[in-house]
Structure 1
């Protein structure tokens, strides 16, 4: 294998951006000649291509700027791997389109499965998805659930879709040496709030049930856009006293935020993989989650899974709150489950596919 060009239309900070960055680092550590092309700051393995944000259109014009960048790229590599369908579209319309080994990662098909796009966004997404399905040599996805969903919504042959799980960075996310004893049972959440499939209103409904039952608890919700949602309005409406919106949790504070919770609550209705609850497990925290989409596959029996209805999830919260032995069992199971997912495993599986 001579070299790999890894293509991205996003910066490092978002989920897909971190996926690309960590894979590039791991491949480089194996002395693989890899160059990551992305928005954001350049470094020894990443080249930043010039782009304009154009406000709300930035996600739609990014492939154009990546295409221009690829047209000017003088190097010729064995493998071109796009981290999403937008970057793959840039490759298809660039001068590099004739390379044989064109791969794409399709993390999920949430825009179709959850139907939350407007007419233009939906057409644009389906166009990019079609490019990835038809013109890639192989498709990678991050769970068997996502594979089934991709096949269901596109009709692509199952042999073309390959499951390679995401990893957890266990050098950054790990348990405390000693369990923090909170004065009050602390429930925490990290994740999206503004899209319906995240089911974030269930967080507030669970809090309401706990307060109605005079349960002593504290819930802290980490996300940068709470004020743009109805969640604070619901807290006010229900007169809930013990919910706090703590804002965006930076990467250097994520481990402590997760590790110092008594329970992590994740009511999502749809996940292609589901990083937040697995990251909480890696930090040694008991997890209560919905039994939807990829979550049973990724979390296994190391979490208390239930129907995403608030009353069912509240019951599981109360089970942990009242049973320290159960909490300890879930913490230990969660650590073991999270250790099955490493970026080392991810890149090893990718290399096997590249070399086949």
Structure 2
């Protein structure tokens, strides 16, 4: 039996403003503690959470300053357990771990577009480099990320592609909602999300009388300023934060999800929308090969993205939700992670 320690720093007790790292940590921990009945689990957290962990031990580390490098390192030094494993869920790890490391790398947008991360790209590069050298295994969510890492670190033969699952809240489809003339965007207001391209494309779309009544719904952009580029506010709805219940409602009402990002390594909103039967239009850089068959793909320019929106709204691709659930399963993900404990 292994004693598995997990970085739960991305967990929080709030239902709104949920980011991908929180979703991943929550779903991973829930799946591991539900399906793995042999090994024991300790989750290091920064604050109290309401996560159901099926018998796992929650250990709050204080203070938040130096939480990862020092706080968890001290907890690891004090551990008397043998056969320990540390799951570095968010690309970083403490100065000391009492066992081997399995590291998770979520994306490389800061390498592809370093100018969009002026304050953090150097730190993130260092984190990736250190993790690649320290971890016994590296787990990524798509062949896209694995290919980039293999090119950057050709000596590493321990990179495993294991696609994430559909978040549990989106397994069941809500049939009480009806589709409306809504184009939905879900994500933060960061340059990598390329919201400007989406707004330019939407402005072109509504010049067509067939789509003149459509509205663009921007969800999760926080309280940051969004430049509408002259787009009338009657065509835009801004929702700074959305809890899971509201998000699921919006997926089920939207005519499509629009993903204008320059780069994505997985993108939970895409898989969430598809699980609800909602078609997706995405720029090529935002699509991973495992999801590409389900998505209307566009080039990174307003005219092409507008055409892709029109194609999506008039002739949607068939979404085989059952196959999607089989391909993107947290149960499968958890079983493959547990197998790495012994590899």
Q: TM-score range by the shorter chain?
A: 0.7 to 0.9
Contiguous gaps of at least 5 residues in structure 2: 13-17
Does 2:170 correspond to 1:165? no
Contact 2:262/2:285 (<8 A) preserved: yes
Counterpart position of 2:60: 48
Counting matched residue pairs gives 328
Does 2:15 correspond to 1:19? no
Under a length normalisation based on structure 2, what TM-score does the superposition of the two structures give?
0.86
Which protein is richer in helix relative to its size?
1
In the TM superposition, what are the counterparts of 1:59-78 in structure 2 within 5 Å? 62-78=68-84
Tell me how far 1:259 sits from its aligned partner: 1.4
In the TM superposition, what are the counterparts of 1:307-326 in structure 2 within 5 Å? 307-321=299-313, 323=314, 326=315
Counterpart position of 1:9: 9
The structure whose RCO (Cα within 8 Å, separation 6+) is larger is 2
Q: CA RMSD in A?
A: 2.5
Cα distance in structure 2, aligned partners of 1:114 and 1:171:
32
Contact 1:223/1:247 (<8 A) preserved: yes
Counterpart position of 2:15: none
Q: 1:158 to 1:52 in 2, by over 3 A?
A: closer
Contact 1:187/1:218 (<8 A) preserved: yes
Under a length normalisation based on structure 1, what TM-score does the superposition of the two structures give?
0.83
Does 2:194 correspond to 1:199? yes
Tell me how far 1:173 sits from its aligned partner: 4.1
4+ runs deviating over 6 angstroms: none
Q: 1:296 to 1:106 in 2, by over 3 A?
A: closer
In the TM superposition, what are the counterparts of 1:104-143 in structure 2 within 5 Å? 104-115=103-114, 116-118=116-118, 121-143=120-142
Tell me how far 1:71 sits from its aligned partner: 3.3
Deviations 1:94-144 (A, max 9, x none): 2x35x3x2211111222222203336x344323322221111111111111
Q: 1:126 to 1:170 in 2, by over 3 A?
A: closer
Contact 2:201/2:302 (<8 A) preserved: yes
In the TM superposition, what are the counterparts of 1:211-226 in structure 2 within 5 Å? 211-214=206-209, 215-216=211-212, 217-225=214-222
Contact 1:281/1:338 (<8 A) preserved: no
Cα distance in structure 2, aligned partners of 1:310 and 1:338:
32
Tell me how far 1:7 sits from its aligned partner: 2.0
Cα distance in structure 2, aligned partners of 1:77 and 1:137:
14
Q: 1:69 to 1:14 in 2, by over 3 A?
A: farther
Cα distance in structure 1, aligned partners of 2:232 and 2:26:
43
Which residue of 175, 183, 186 corresponds with 1:190?
186
Q: Look up the SS of the partner of 2:125 in the other structure.
A: helix
Tell me how far 1:79 sits from its aligned partner: 1.6
Contact 1:108/1:150 (<8 A) preserved: no
Cα distance in structure 1, aligned partners of 2:284 and 2:325:
17
Cα distance in structure 2, aligned partners of 1:191 and 1:298:
21
Contact 1:39/1:50 (<8 A) preserved: yes
Tell me how far 1:208 sits from its aligned partner: 0.9
Cα distance in structure 1, aligned partners of 2:25 and 2:304:
36
Q: 1:169 to 1:72 in 2, by over 3 A?
A: same
